[in-house]
Chain A
């Protein structure tokens, strides 16, 4: 008995196979599509006269060419690559902010210092002073601009992150829906290949946003794990959102629980790293540069004087947290150390200067205490406004004050009983503050009495010099004491034991209190966002403290400001200002290059893994055409078999007729 069902089964099976081939060809360019192939198996045989006679063929399954290992590698790579690209894009933008050239931060810094060096040649020149101040203003403008650009980068990154999170939520919803469909579709035992392909594709797209991977949970039907495997997309989706942490970081949160979600990959991870680490790193560098510049410049500027010489009054530009609390325990813009502040009061009529050295200990003294100390200086008044928490210094009419620490012309002669008038001259060029104590040995007339001399000792009591004031000394003649300090004694008497001191000041403020209180400032502000050249200086360049005296050619303080250029004052004393910027630029270059190499490497990996996936799961139309021919021939053969059966049947029927 002929069994036409066998042939029919062949027709059916090969038709399915032909459809599968056609589907493969149709989806040859569909992203995420995996090659499908038909798995045929023979139908159970019939027992005919003790013979097992085959009954045909059936399609047991349509199988995807799917390599879990390769797919996982591809997903992981997509995640890492997306994060890397996000970082690279950010670094490229930052690089453009710092790229050197005319008008750049490095250029403006360099020009500012160059103009200062030019001022050294003509310290009294008001035009050159104006040029220096405009150079400083251009530098502060560029700092603002650079910081603002970094802020814009951060802002646009956050906007992108928010868009990505919406995209992520949408994809998660679709995956959850697919998971449900797969469960239903595969409930009957069939493979939901197309649904799985779609889910795989979505998973890979998701991996571009966050770190994602397929899980084999869900009874083998699989689900998707996110965010370092802390979130599961089953048949129920997740909903994520962006929030700001108490520390100010931009973070991903589970909208339902409000808990922070940690990421290890995907573009979002790159964006968060950019927002929270990379951009702030460079913002911090700008702020460190600005803060250092403000602090160091103000400190040096405060110890000089403008063209008008000593001040009649100065308003402190910086507040402290609490005027009654010890300075070390309350907020100040710049640190204050224990040390000595030298304030000089000048009698405008006589030009006589009097130095007063104040010892300041921030651990025990408050702003009120410091003001009280300053109030104790003759002809100087210090007041603290308890509301603004700032100090104001004012000299009595007919007097001026400054913090230059220059030598007194006539020392304090309280302990001198003789009539000879000692006068100091020169400029102390030692490196540390000292006190030269002059003590008279012998009694008599200066320039007359042999044996009359003066011993000069430093603060440690070491004998520096013995000045012979006997008959070989011409009264009024200056003689060298030590380190650039000279002294002369007028005609008159000196008595044994007469003594006076000369303050030899190398640094008139070893505490940093002048910059901390904002006295005679060059820059206002504390960071790149608020750094400004002091308005009073801009209005009147003559206030620029180029000198430490009223002599128009005195460039002493300009030279001290210039010396800041080469001093390593940033990064814990390892970088000078320009070196710091160069290093920042170099660092950006390094980071861009590293990120670029990482991205290239991940792309190469992606290329290799994609090639592997293509090798395993991709569609080769030639191969499909061969299969097409194979199944076409099989279909034709099955048709022929039916045709033969038909003939045999007809022949048999003809016998009956």
Chain B
């Protein structure tokens, strides 16, 4: 403490004290008028870091909540449409049951027409969108994922979406699948046994197939030959008209030379009806009891020949309409490749007896649209199946429909679980945001009670400063000097 105090010191002290209080008053007034305690980083450098980080996080959560909302809308719409698809397939299943019990072709035609409409609806559902984004095209979400061309028997549905799901980034570093692919929803597979229908004798091979839905197996005849001794030859239409296939002995001709000179007699195929021949026949059609055909040249029948003649019939297999063929080797497994799709069908050709077309079904592989199309065709029995075969086919359609329904419901379950998880995430983020708002408010907002009290205190201090300065200046020796 200085012993000597001059009025200048009073003045300086008063000025500094007044300046200090006025500055504090100004700060407090600003806090009171803005409601904020933190206006500049230097107001509280530690708190400003927390506040900025919290504000950034809060704004980011806003964006994340926005993305979650978008994801929820897509998944909600997805679930709604998938449930609709499930209803369509359920309706189709009912039609299949009705068709199985119906014996009236007209009624089946009506049912088939209803299936056509269901197919249209299913395509519309599969092409559903939310705010212009197609729900079932995966990452290719800006154009309809399924393209329906043709109608009725020529209807064909092609998937042109992506095979990768569309995602949305929700929380930091985490993304959820919001746009599923049409392939996983409507084209799921659960491959079962392959079924070969028809009377060609072709059967299911031993290796794994990759065909999808169904295929038509063309069993074609190439050539016919006969065991030596009888003098019988192939007729002029043999190559194109014969249907007999198989290794030697699979089919037999029975020749009876009634003339004893080879001039005339009778011939039958596989014990079928006897056909008269003469030495002048060059293209004699002989049909077996089961409808197999051979065209024969009987101009050189060995005189006096009567007996059986083993027939050898060669042919080819194809699943692409004859674009590519493989020779039949009558083995337990022959791989037939569709040159267009690359899909493989394995055939047991050891039992093939005749040319014709066989219908191949790759059970558990048809997509939902194909199943509806197959159902339509079975209701119309376009393959000419027997009642028993038709009943079995319809049963397989029902199984396929159930498979797709199960798959769709599984995906609905997945999406519902994601929705639930998103809801939980949304709630958590909202809670975090609330906490952040609390943190920001705690650090940034002014405590108005404290501000007002401090304001009053500073005002008092300023008044004290002025009052004491004034009082001190009143005391002066001049007051006592006369």
Instruction: List residues of chain A with CB under 8 Å of any chain B CB.
Output: 28-29, 91-92, 95-96, 98-100, 106, 110-111, 113-114, 117-118, 120-122, 124, 421, 425, 427, 445, 447-448, 471-477, 490-492, 549, 551-555, 558-559, 562-563, 566, 578-579, 581-583, 585-590, 592-593, 596, 603, 607, 610-612, 614-616, 618-622, 625-626, 629
Query: What residue of chain A has the Cβ atom nearest to residue B49's Cβ?
Result: A586
Nearest CB in chain B to that of A104: its residue: B52
Question: Among the listed A98, A117, A448, which residue makes an inter-chain contact with B41, where contact means beta carbons less than 8 Å apart?
Answer: A98
Contacts of A117 in B (CB 8 A): 60, 63-64, 67, 169
Q: Which A residues lie within 8 Å of B342 (CB)?
A: 421, 475-476, 490-491
B209 at the interface (CB under 8 A from A): yes
Residues of A within 8 A of B3 (CB): 615
Query: Are B67 and A120 in contact, with the CB atoms below 8 A?
Result: yes
Q: List 23 A-B contacts (CB under 8 A).
A: A28-B7, A28-B8, A95-B40, A117-B60, A117-B67, A120-B67, A121-B66, A124-B141, A447-B344, A475-B342, A475-B343, A551-B139, A551-B140, A553-B166, A554-B139, A566-B172, A588-B42, A590-B42, A607-B13, A615-B3, A615-B5, A615-B9, A619-B6
A614 is contacted by which of B8, B48, B64, B207 (Cβ under 8 Å)?
Answer: B8
Q: Judge whether A122 and B133 touch: CB under 8 Å.
A: yes
Chain B hits for A622, CB < 8 A: 476-477
Q: How far is the CA of A290 from the CA of B66 in the complex (A)?
A: 28
CB neighbours (8 Å) of A118 from chain B are 63, 66-67
* B206 at the A interface (CB under 8 A): yes
Residues on B with beta carbons closer than 8 Å to the beta carbon of A607: 12-13, 16
Which B residues, 138 to 169, have Cβ-Cβ distances below 8 Å to chain A? 138-142, 162-164, 166-169
On whether the beta carbons of B48 and A585 are closer than 8 Å, the reply is: yes
Please give me the residue from chain A that is nearest to B365 by CB atom. Answer: A474
A552 x B59 contact (CB < 8 A): no
B positions within 8 Å CB-CB of A = 2-9, 12-13, 16, 39-46, 48-49, 52-53, 55-56, 59-60, 62-64, 66-67, 70-71, 133, 137-142, 162-164, 166-169, 172-173, 175, 178-179, 191, 206-210, 333, 335, 337, 342-344, 346, 476-478, 481
How distant is B199 from chain A, measured CB to nearest CB, in Å?
26
Q: Which 10 A-B pairs have the closest CB atoms?
A: A589-B45, A589-B41, A592-B42, A474-B210, A615-B2, A618-B6, A471-B207, A553-B139, A551-B139, A553-B141
Contact partner of B6 (CB less than 8 A), chosen from A106, A614, A626, is A614
Q: How far is the CA of A468 from the CA of B4 in the complex (A)?
A: 105
Contact flag A614-B2 (CB < 8 Å), given A120-B175, A447-B208, A554-B164 = yes
Closest Cβ of chain B to A176, distance in Å, is 30
Residue numbers in B under 8 Å from A475 (CB-CB): 210, 337, 342-344
* Contact between B142 and A596, CB atoms less than 8 A apart: no
| Assembled-state Cα–Cα distance A616/B6 (Å) | 10
Q: Specify the main secondary structure of chain B where it touches its partner.
A: mixed
Starting from the known contacts A117-B63, A551-B140, 19 additional A-B residue pairs (CB-CB under 8 Å) come to A448-B335, A551-B162, A553-B141, A553-B162, A555-B139, A582-B49, A583-B49, A585-B48, A586-B45, A586-B49, A586-B52, A587-B45, A588-B42, A611-B2, A614-B2, A614-B9, A615-B5, A620-B7, A622-B477
A118, A551, A607 interface centre (most CB from chain B within 10 Å): A551
Contact (A585, B56) CB under 8 Å given A448-B335, A553-B162, A615-B6: no
C-alpha gap A551/B141 in the complex (Å) = 8
Q: How many angstroms from the CA of A121 to the CA of B209 in the assembled complex? A: 40
B67 partner residues in chain A, CB cutoff 8 A: 117-118, 120-121
A553 and B137 contact, Cβ closer than 8 Å, known pairs A121-B70, A474-B209, A593-B42: yes
In angstroms, how far is the closest chain A Cβ from the Cβ of B430? 17
B6 touches A593 (CB 8 A): no
**Are B208 and A473 closer than 8 Å at their CB atoms?**
yes
Chain A residue nearest in CB terms to B74: A121
> Which secondary structure dominates chain A's binding surface?
helix
Residues of the A chain whose Cβ atoms lie less than 8 Å from the Cβ of B141: 124, 552-553
Chain B residue with Cβ nearest A119: B169
With A114-B63, A589-B48: A625-B162 Cβ-Cβ less than 8 Å = no
Q: Are A447 and B8 in contact (CB under 8 A)?
A: no
B163 surroundings in chain A (CB, below 8 A) = 425
Given A471-B207, A551-B164, A615-B42 contact (CB < 8 Å): no
In the complex, are the beta carbons of B337 and A491 less than 8 A apart?
Answer: yes
Is B41's CB under 8 angstroms from A447's CB?
A: no
Q: Does B206 contact A471, Cβ atoms closer than 8 Å?
A: yes
Give the docked Cα–Cα distance between A618 and B210 (Å): 109
Is B164 a contact partner of A447 (Cβ separation < 8 A)? no
Among B8, B48, B168, the one with the most A-chain Cβ atoms within 10 Å of its Cβ is B8
Check B52–A106 contact: CB distance below 8 A.
yes
Given A121-B71, A607-B16, CB of A448 within 8 Å of CB of B333 = yes
Chain A nearest CB from B343 CB (Å) reads 6
Assembled-state Cα–Cα distance A552/B335 (Å) = 39
Q: What B residues does A629 contact at CB under 8 A?
A: 481
In contact, A619 and B140 (Cβ under 8 angstroms): no
**Contact assessment for A582 and B53 in the assembled complex, using a CB-CB cutoff below 8 Å:** yes
Q: Which residue of B lies closest to A99 (CB)?
A: B40
Contact residues in A for B173 (Cβ distance below 8 Å): 563, 566
Residue of chain B at shortest CB distance from A478 = B163
Which residues on A sit within 8 Å (CB–CB) of B335? 445, 447-448, 491
Indicate if the CB atoms of B208 and A618 lie closer than 8 Å.
no
User: What A residues does B162 contact at CB under 8 A?
Assistant: 551, 553-554
**A95:B5 contact, CB within 8 angstroms:** no
Determine if A616 and B4 form an interchain contact, defined as CB atoms under 8 angstroms apart: yes
Q: Which residues of B contact A563 (CB under 8 A)?
A: 173
CB neighbours of B477 from chain A (8 A) = 621-622, 625-626
CB neighbours (8 Å) of B48 from chain A are: 100, 585-586, 589
**Smallest Cβ distance from A157 to chain B, in angstroms?**
19
B42 and A95 within 8 A (CB): yes
* Minimum C-beta distance from A57 to chain B (A): 26
Measured between beta carbons, the chain B residues less than 8 angstroms from A106 are 52, 56
Please, how many angstroms separate the alpha-carbon atoms of A448 and B337 in the complex? 12
Cβ distance A484 to chain B, nearest Cβ, rounded Å = 10
- A124 CA to B172 CA in the complex, in Å? 21
Tell me whether A621 and B140 are in contact (CB under 8 A): no
Residue of B nearest to A492 (CB): B337
Tell me which residues across on chain B come within 8 A of A562, comparing CB atoms. Answer: 169
In Å, the complex CA distance between A474 and B342 comes to 11
Q: What is the CB-to-nearest-CB distance from B194 to chain A, in angstroms, rounded to a whole number?
A: 10
Whole-angstrom distance between the alpha carbons of A92 and B41 in the complex? 10
Q: Give the distance to chain B from A69, nearest Cβ to Cβ, in Å.
A: 14
B210 near A593 with CB under 8 A, answer no
- Tell me, rounded to whole Å, the shortest Cβ–Cβ distance linking A555 to chain B: 6
Select B56's contact among A555, A578, A616, beta carbons within 8 Å: A578
A420, B335: Cα distance in complex, Å: 13
**A120 interface neighbour in B56, B138, B142, B169, Cβ under 8 Å:** B169
